[in-house]
Amino acid sequence: MSELFPSQRIQILLPLPLSGVLDYLVSGDFNLKEGDFVTVPLSGRQVQGVVWDMDPKESGVPTEKLKYVTANSELPALPLNLMEFVKWVSDYTLSPLGSVLKMALSVPRGSDKPKKKILYKIAADLPSKLTKSQNRVCDAAISDMPLSVQAWCDVAVVGQGVIRGMIKTNLLIPVEVYGEEQFMTPDIDLESAILSDEQRTAADHIILQQKSDTYNCILLEGVTGSGKTEVYFEAIAEALGKENSQILVLVPEIALTTQWLERFSERFGAPPVIWHSEMTPAQRRRAWWATIRGEARVIVGARSALFLPLKNLKLVIVDEEHSQTFKQDEGVMYNGRDMAVVRAMQSHCPIVLASATPSLETLINAENGKYDWLYLGERHGPAELPQMASVDLRVHKLNAGSWISEPLFTALKENYGRGEQSLLYLNRRGYAPLTLCRSCGHRMECPHCSAWLVEHHKFNRLECHHCGFNRIVPDQCPGCEAKESLVACGPGVERVAEELQNLFPDARLAVMSSDEISSPKALKEMIENIENHNVDFIVGTQIVTKGYHFPMLTLVGVIDADLGMSGADPRAAERTWQQLEQVAGRAGRAEHPGRVIFQTYNPDHPVLQALISGDKDLFLEQEAASREAQNLPPYGKLASLILSGPDKNKVINACKHLARLAPHSDDISVLGPVPAPLSYLRGNYRYRFLVKATTKVKIQNEIRDWLDKIPANRGVRIQIDIDPYSFY
């Protein structure tokens, strides 16, 4: 190493599940700064990491034992705000820092240097006489942004021949660019919706916050169809007006929001940059690069978009903020909604949480004044909120093997007769949730999980919805070998569709569940079929609750409104209310009035009362009071610890050890261990502890101290879930 540049000790974070940073030496002529990508040796391999601390406090490892940084990288440095965010998420979720960094580095590798490419831009001097197609191309140009041949064809709607011709005659000029093709910039000057007074007030409030460049969290609550999307589009337009600003929109299931994307493109003349886990590596690379270079202006994505290198974040939107899909239940267990609030806070920008059915957490924060609270009480235009009623199944008894009651059938018949669309909702995939033997009572269970196998008629298979194990439906009982004795118990969407088809043999049916919808394209086709009224009846799982707007849909029937009401989940009632309110919100969204019918054995349940009376406040107050009394979220803190492993005794012993050392005080208690409801999953035995704490203590510190007391146990995995949403 040269004398001029003495070497220095620095800390590097590697995207590996290690607990923290590692010390390395670097020679000064590398000229590194925090956030830079480097290559370092680690147990004989060369790995990529990020410079985390250029001036670390002394650590235990003596200098002579340290290795040197091998190479620096041409990749742009990770923005400091992203490093700060990674650190925060790691501390909060008790996940290794390296595991969180890994989520932020889902794309770049040292070898991923952007490739050179030739794109074409419009010539500065154009002759006055152009052909009609050439004029189209010039009109489609967005300032002097260069595009590929295919992109020109797409934006100008012309053939490749036209573009090639223009290149030959120097009307389009080649430009060499690095990296991926640019994204189009949204245009804020296009025509926008004329907002109602209510909508205008809400939009103005967000815009005002947005102008001040400070953090503020705003709940945008509005009944289904009230125009929340239109309102935040206005806020996005305003934020886009700031130079180089970036806007992040989180949505629950990106693949399911084709209607949203079309609306965005219509409003802004360009599609947003999309980010989700099912993208190809090439698509990811393009979006990641566009983000770090600042070209990506509006990014719409799933929760993982939070870890994109957004340098100039000016506005965050979380749509359907109550949605459980924001919670990641594997690996780093984090809640995308909550972490979005942190990201906004660290970026000093406002965040909007939008929903027709806000979570209790968010509502309490709004009530306390921690969040601003905007409310839209009316549906847009002539649309009115649907009429809701329940059918008491104790009175209107179902026939054996039938799931549609007489009153629901009558309503379906009327609606069908009028040529309007109806939706039947049941949040259960497949044909039947349980198959059992009529002779011996044997239940068809998964060999790897403590779960029943679900029959899927379509494939003549029994499937485990937890691990994916499946087998064909046997023709004799595996227990007593009786022939043709297996019977399906209970309904899934396939079975309801079968009944419906028998009742209305000529009707056109669509089943919306993840089994029927194999790709975004298949989904798009189905949506178009429904929009174009090529479908009379839709039978669907929770997929249908995701913000769709079907103008001809006027009747919603809920097959089993009691489903999901019970169980260990403290949010069971809240979630059922949210799902039912959302599915009900699909009815009567245009000029035709809507109706909703809930089939139930418990019409007096507060959830149903709230839905039918339209007065959710009483229900939410009761829900809040009961949570407060039990010190459950949002009044207290919960964390769950799942211990799992293939050797049951080892797992139990580790549990006993932990139980002896569990913290106990006025502010913290530990329940368990008990076998998890899914006590056997993918060949692993599972036991769980539930940690309950008041807000006076920091639950993370308590858990960290507790786990530090026991040695790592081979063959037993401990998963920590802070703020758990899954109780299986």
Please state, as a whole number, how many other Cβ atoms lie within 10 Å of the Cβ of residue 645. Answer: 21
- CB closer to ligand ADP, 195 vs 561: 195
User: If binding is defined by CB under 6 A, does position 224 make contact with ligand ADP?
Assistant: yes
| Near ligand ADP by CB under 6 A: residue from 194, 282, 400, 712 | 194
Measured CA to CA, the distance from residue 465 to residue 391 in angstroms comes to: 30
Element (H, E) at 281: helix 281-292
What's the angle, vertex CA 633, arms to CA 629 and CA 639, rounded to 5?
120
Query: Of these partners, Zn ion, ligand ADP, none, which one is at the site of residue 469 (CB under 5 to 8 Å by kind)?
Result: Zn ion
User: If binding is defined by CB under 6 A, does position 586 make contact with ligand ADP?
Assistant: no
| Near Zn ion by CB under 5 A: residue from 184, 250, 446, 642 | 446
User: If binding is defined by CB under 5 A, does position 219 make contact with Zn ion?
Assistant: no
Please state, as a whole number, how many other Cβ atoms lie within 10 Å of the Cβ of residue 377. Answer: 10
User: If binding is defined by CB under 6 A, does position 549 make contact with ligand ADP?
Assistant: yes
Residue span binding Zn ion (CB under 5 A) among the ranges 11-19, 48-56, 457-465, 483-491:
457-465
Closest distance to Zn ion from the beta carbon of 475 (Å): 22
Measured CA to CA, the distance from residue 13 to residue 19 in angstroms comes to: 10
- Footprint of ligand ADP on residues 375-434 (CB under 6 A)? 380
Residue 715 Rama label (left phi>0; alpha psi -120 to 50; beta): left
Query: Of these partners, ligand ADP, Zn ion, none, which one is at the site of residue 549 (CB under 5 to 8 Å by kind)?
Result: ligand ADP
User: If binding is defined by CB under 5 A, does position 444 make contact with Zn ion?
Assistant: no
Q: Write the CB contacts of 334 (distance below 8 Å, at least 6 apart in sequence).
A: 89, 92, 93, 95, 303, 327, 328
Measured CA to CA, the distance from residue 411 to residue 82 in angstroms comes to: 54
488-520 per-residue burial string, b: 16 or more CB within 10 A, e: under 16:
bebbbbbbbbbbbeeebeeeeebbbbebbbeee
Beta bridge partners of 539: 424, 511
User: If binding is defined by CB under 6 A, does position 501 make contact with ligand ADP?
Assistant: no
Query: Of these partners, Zn ion, ligand ADP, none, which one is at the site of residue 467 (CB under 5 to 8 Å by kind)?
Result: Zn ion
Please give the single-letter amino acid code of residue 200: R
Measured CA to CA, the distance from residue 101 to residue 22 in angstroms comes to: 14
- CB closer to ligand ADP, 153 vs 247: 247
User: If binding is defined by CB under 5 A, does position 442 make contact with Zn ion?
Assistant: no
User: If binding is defined by CB under 6 A, does position 225 make contact with ligand ADP?
Assistant: yes
Measured CA to CA, the distance from residue 393 to residue 560 in angstroms comes to: 10
User: If binding is defined by CB under 6 A, does position 193 make contact with ligand ADP?
Assistant: yes
Cα–Cα separations (whole angstroms), residue 536 to 11, 500, 546, 554: 63, 11, 20, 11
User: If binding is defined by CB under 5 A, does position 466 make contact with Zn ion?
Assistant: yes
Nearest position to ligand ADP, beta carbon: 227
User: If binding is defined by CB under 6 A, does position 636 make contact with ligand ADP?
Assistant: no
Residue span binding ligand ADP (CB under 6 A) among the ranges 60-68, 188-196, 286-294, 678-686:
188-196
461-463, strands of its sheet edge to edge? 454-456, 461-463, 470-472
Measured CA to CA, the distance from residue 119 to residue 150 in angstroms comes to: 10
- CB closer to ligand ADP, 234 vs 560: 234
Residue span binding Zn ion (CB under 5 A) among the ranges 322-330, 405-413, 460-468, 655-663:
460-468
User: If binding is defined by CB under 5 A, does position 467 make contact with Zn ion?
Assistant: yes
What crossing angle do the helices spanning 228-240 and 197-211 adopt, rounded to 10°? 30
Nearest to 269 by CA among 158, 138, 132, 141: 141
Query: Of these partners, Zn ion, ligand ADP, none, which one is at the site of residue 446 (CB under 5 to 8 Å by kind)?
Result: Zn ion
User: If binding is defined by CB under 6 A, does position 510 make contact with ligand ADP?
Assistant: no
**Owner of token pair 């009230």:** 226
The end-to-end CA distance of the chain, in Å, is 56
- CB closer to ligand ADP, 195 vs 360: 195
User: If binding is defined by CB under 6 A, does position 197 make contact with ligand ADP?
Assistant: no
| Near ligand ADP by CB under 6 A: residue from 230, 455, 498, 721 | 230
| Near ligand ADP by CB under 6 A: residue from 48, 199, 335, 365 | 199
User: If binding is defined by CB under 5 A, does position 469 make contact with Zn ion?
Assistant: yes
Closest distance to ligand ADP from the beta carbon of 199 (Å): 6
Q: Write the CB contacts of 118 (distance below 8 Å, at least 6 apart in sequence).
A: 174, 175, 176, 177
DSSP 64: G
User: If binding is defined by CB under 6 A, does position 545 make contact with ligand ADP?
Assistant: no
User: If binding is defined by CB under 6 A, does position 282 make contact with ligand ADP?
Assistant: no
Sign for the CA dihedral angle at 521, 526, 529, 533 comes to: negative
Closest distance to ligand ADP from the beta carbon of 270 (Å): 18
Query: Of these partners, Zn ion, ligand ADP, none, which one is at the site of residue 226 (CB under 5 to 8 Å by kind)?
Result: ligand ADP
Query: Of these partners, ligand ADP, Zn ion, none, which one is at the site of residue 449 (CB under 5 to 8 Å by kind)?
Result: Zn ion
- CB closer to ligand ADP, 224 vs 347: 224
145-184 per-residue burial string, b: 16 or more CB within 10 A, e: under 16:
bbbbbebbbebbebeeebbebbbeeebbeeeebebbbbbb
User: If binding is defined by CB under 6 A, does position 229 make contact with ligand ADP?
Assistant: yes
User: If binding is defined by CB under 6 A, does position 304 make contact with ligand ADP?
Assistant: no
- CB closer to ligand ADP, 320 vs 560: 320
- CB closer to ligand ADP, 549 vs 692: 549
Total residues at the site for ligand ADP (CB under 6 A)?
Answer: 15
Residues binding Zn ion (CB under 5 A): 446, 448-449, 464, 466-467, 469
Residues binding ligand ADP (CB under 6 A): 193-196, 199, 222, 224-230, 380, 549
